[in-house]
Structure 1
C-alpha cells in the first residue's frame, strides 16, 4: 500500500543539511526498492531543497513512520514534523488509472 510522506525543513538548518546530505542520499538509495517516487521541494530561484515528498510502498502506516523517523535528516533535526497519508493512484504517467 503506498503512503505519501511530506516534510519541510525547520528554520536555520541549511548548513547542517548540506553536511548531512550525502548520508541522507545513502539512506534513500539503500531503501530504493521500497520507494515508488521521491524528491525535494525547491523554492523559486534556488536549487537546494527545503523539504520533500516520498511515496513509499509499505504494508501499513507504521512502516512509513519507521522509514521517515530513521532518515538521517529527521534523526539530526533537519525537520521535526512530517505528514503521512495513504495514497491511491488516480492519474499516472499522464493516463487515468483504472480501479
Structure 2
C-alpha cells in the first residue's frame, strides 16, 4: 500500500535542512524501487523549502512508521509536524512529473 508522508519543517529550519539533505536523499534512494513520488514542499516563492511530501509503498503502517522514525530529517528534529496516511492512487498522472 502507498503511504503519503506530509512533513512540515519547523520555522527557520533552512540551514538544518541543507546540512542534513545529503543523508536524507541517500535514505530516500534506498526506497527508489518503491517510491511513487517525492519532493520538497515549497513556499509561494517556489524556492524556499518548507517540508516534504513523499509517497512510498510499504507493506503496512507499522513499516511506514518505522521507516519514518529512521529518516534523517526526522531524526535531526527538522519537522514541526508529520502525518502519514494510506493512499489509493486512482488518477493517471499527466502533469508535474519530471522526465525520467
TM-score range, shorter chain: 0.7 to 0.9
Which stretches of structure 1, 4 residues or longer, exceed 4 Å deviation after superposition?
Answer: none
Normalised TM-score (structure 2): 0.84
Q: Residues 80, 14 of structure 1: CA spacing in aligned structure 2 closer, same or farther, 3 A cutoff? A: same
Please tell me whether Structure 1 or Structure 2 has the larger radius of gyration of its CA atoms.
1
Q: Is the 8 A contact 2:31 2:56 kept in 1?
A: no
Match of 1:16 in 2: 16
Between Structure 1 and Structure 2, the one with more strand by share is: 2
TM-score computed with the length of structure 1 as normaliser: 0.85
Check whether the contact 1:74–1:80 (CA below 8 A) recurs between aligned residues. Answer: no
Unaligned runs of 5+ residues in structure 1 are: 95-99
CA distance in 2, matches of 1:33, 1:18: 25
- For this pair of structures, how many residues does the alignment match? 94
